[in-house]
Amino acid sequence: MTTFKDRATRVTRATDAPAPAGHLTLAQVLEIVAGGRLPVRFTAYDGSAAGPPDAPYGVELRTPRGTTYLATGRGDLGLARAYIAGDLELHGVHPGDPYELLAALAESLEFSRPSAWTMADIIRSIGARRLLPSAPPPQEAPARWRRAAAGLRHSKTRDADAIHHHYDVSNTFYEWVLGPSMTYTCACYPREDASLDEAQENKYRLVFEKLHLAPGDRLLDVGCGWGGMVRYAARRGVRATGVTLSIEQASWAQRAIAAEGLKDVAEVRFGDYRDVTETGFDAVSSIGLLEHIGVRNYAAYFGFLQDRLRPGGLLLNHCITRPENHSAAATRGFIDRYVFPDGELTGSGRIISEAQDAGLEVLHEENLRQHYALTLRDWCANLVEHWDEAVAEVGLPTAKVWGLYMAGSRLAFESNGIQLHQVLMARPDERGGASGHPLRPWWTP
């Protein structure tokens, strides 16, 4: 799972600078709220323009509905609605990878909250009718309060709906974006010039070795995606079981397992990880699942996975985190409504505390933040390369959602807005800890 923290929408204190006299153009409105510091060229349907005429990147507001989206959507949500609906166009970048434009905005764009009298001039100029919300694009998930009809947050039913929204887009689409590995989690680059497939293979190697797996061991991979970890382990003689809430992923993984002749040692199930009844696994891997669990469920989550392990067994948790531990966990805006409904992120400290309080011994943790930025770079490159096919498969609006979210997430990882942590832990054995392992880390970081 990936996410995107928009740094380009910071809001500063109200400015007391008077608005220009008379009717304001849309470009003048933007200059007021941006303090005249536009790093890109802005043009609007009313014929107005702002920003450097020779800027390499541009934003074009094409319709009055786009103004409504921008005026009524909080934070990045209005921008996303206008862009996905086609009311806002980006120039100088490919829709499959608008990273450079987003980086320019994040670098220097800082919004100011206009004073009350300036705001009144703005409303008069754009028209009060523009403040009446318009229906969002159909790709948008319902607001959180409306999702209650599907059950409480992180109930099995509601989790299944959230997973379906994101992961059951199209296996063909994912093949174009993710490449042959069909791995939708952070890769681990052995070198900066390594290919995406090489880095994903290296990530699986790292997880496999951290879990100290050997032929004949039993592995449970929860939230297994298209079964990449399951098949990697099975090829090395491990009996691997995966579980996913996406029926599209499960079907693809089962076919891949059969094609590789691994059916005797590998299995991927369609279902909730909480429905796994077997115990005594030598290891459990959770790669990109915790973001969907909900912070209030961490204790139950770690307790459940610990119960699946034999005494002394190892658990590796790999997930996106915040760089601190005090922010509210719930994601909002564009990510919540278009990408990961009900997703929640917290800091690695909170994750480690919850794991320890559940009785697990934490052995090692590391941050792969920079690796996720590189992964997203390569996913965007794949989307650009297969743009026409992707649009034909899922439609232009959905393809634009993916380009926007992956490029924005890359920027967030680069700027330390979000991180990716792997935490290795063990179920204590009869001696009260994890014994039988080398004294120092036994893998190559």
Please check whether residue 30 is in contact with residue 109, taking contact to mean a CB–CB distance below 8 angstroms.
Answer: no
- d(CA 93, CA 100) in angstroms, rounded, equals 7
On the question of pLDDT at 152 being above 60, the answer is no
pLDDT digits (tens, 9 = 90+) for 1-13: 444 444 444 444 4
pLDDT digits (tens, 9 = 90+) for 302-349: 999 999 999 999 999 999 999 999 988 777 889 988 998 878 999 999
pLDDT digits (tens, 9 = 90+) for 91-112: 999 999 999 999 999 987 777 7
pLDDT digits (tens, 9 = 90+) for 416-431: 999 999 999 999 998 8
Domains and CATH numbers, the chain: 7-131 (3.30.1050), 156-426 (3.40.50.150)
